[in-house]
Amino acid sequence: EPEVTQTPSHQVTQMGQEVILRCVPISNHLYFYWYRQILGQKVEFLVSFYNNEISEKSEIFDDQFSVERPDGSNFTLKIRSTKLEDSAMYFCAVTGYSYEQYFGPGTRLTVT
Amino acid sequence: QKEVEQDPGPLSVPEGAIVSLNCTYSNSAFQYFMWYRQYSRKGPELLMYTYSSGNKEDGRFTAQVDKSSKYISLFIRDSQPSDSATYLCAMSGDLIDSQGGSEKLVFGKGTKLTVNP
């Protein structure tokens, strides 16, 4: 059983548009992570989030990206002005009181 | 030198074969080592999780970590066509705290495995 679900499963957007990707944990989790995977490339860390604050972010996570947990349940990744190179699979991951990171099914973002 | 290196394959084996998948790494701070299985356009699925050096077995899967050589392996015994997928190694350093926080995972590129019936 997945620890987390993600919506939408596929998002197509035009360059310059804002997108919001959502992660919904199934059970109680304290730490949240976003990763992305450009087609044919490695899974790359974007950001980690704990207690309503960013714990760590990568150099990929620039000012165009933001994360929040608006209602105490959903965890969102916003890209303010999408670029062609933002096209990728975006994965949410969670940990709870075990330290393993469990990944969601991903959102495929296509920027045209 | 890349932080985590993994032979991308592809690797093709007959059903029933023993499969060996490997990763090397350069960062001696890594202490937690994971293997994920990923099907095409799906999320990584955690298979094995080990801490520091040693072996861990779970059914047909065995994970080995050799920190002195900075080398980790995943062995699959009696491979099945359903094992066909991309296998990703991932690793991280210290835990953040006692509440379940772990540092970011650093992934290898993945090895694509096909098990032929």
pLDDT tens-place string over residues A21-59? 999 887 777 788 999 999 989 999 999 988 788 988 999
To the nearest 10°, report the CA torsion of B40, B41, B45, B50.
80
Architecture of the domain defined by B4-110: Sandwich (2.60)
- Residue A112 tokens read as 């045209």
What is the C-alpha to C-alpha distance for residues B31 and B43, in angstroms, rounded to an integer?
23
Q: Enter the tokens of residue B96.
A: 């953040």
* Nearest by Cα to A94 from B105, B93, B85: B105
Q: What is the pLDDT of residues B47-91, one digit of tens each?
A: 998 888 889 999 999 999 999 999 999 999 999 999 999 999 999
- DSSP annotation of B81: G
A68 three-state secondary structure: strand
- Partner residue opposite A101 with nearest CB, options B105, B109, B110: B105
Domain extents in chain B: 4-110
Q: Is B108 on the interface with A (CB under 8 A)?
A: yes
Strands (E), B26-70: 32-38, 45-51, 54-58, 61-66
Please give, rounded to a whole number of angstroms, the shortest distance from the CA of B95 to a CA of chain A: 8
Put simply, whether A50 touches B (Cβ < 8 Å) is yes
Q: Determine the distance from the C-alpha atom of residue A15 to the mean position of all C-alpha atoms in its chain, rounded to a whole number.
A: 19
Q: Where do the domains of chain A lie, and which CATH numbers do they carry? A: 4-96 (2.60.40.10)
Give Dmax over CA atoms of chain B in angstroms. 46
Give the model's pLDDT for residue A98.
Answer: 67
Question: pLDDT tens digits, residue range A87-104?
Answer: 999 999 988 666 788 999
**Chain B interface, best mutation among A35, A94, A101, A110, by max B CB count within 10 A:** A101
Q: Is the pLDDT of residue A76 over 60?
A: yes
The number of residues making up chain B comes to: 117
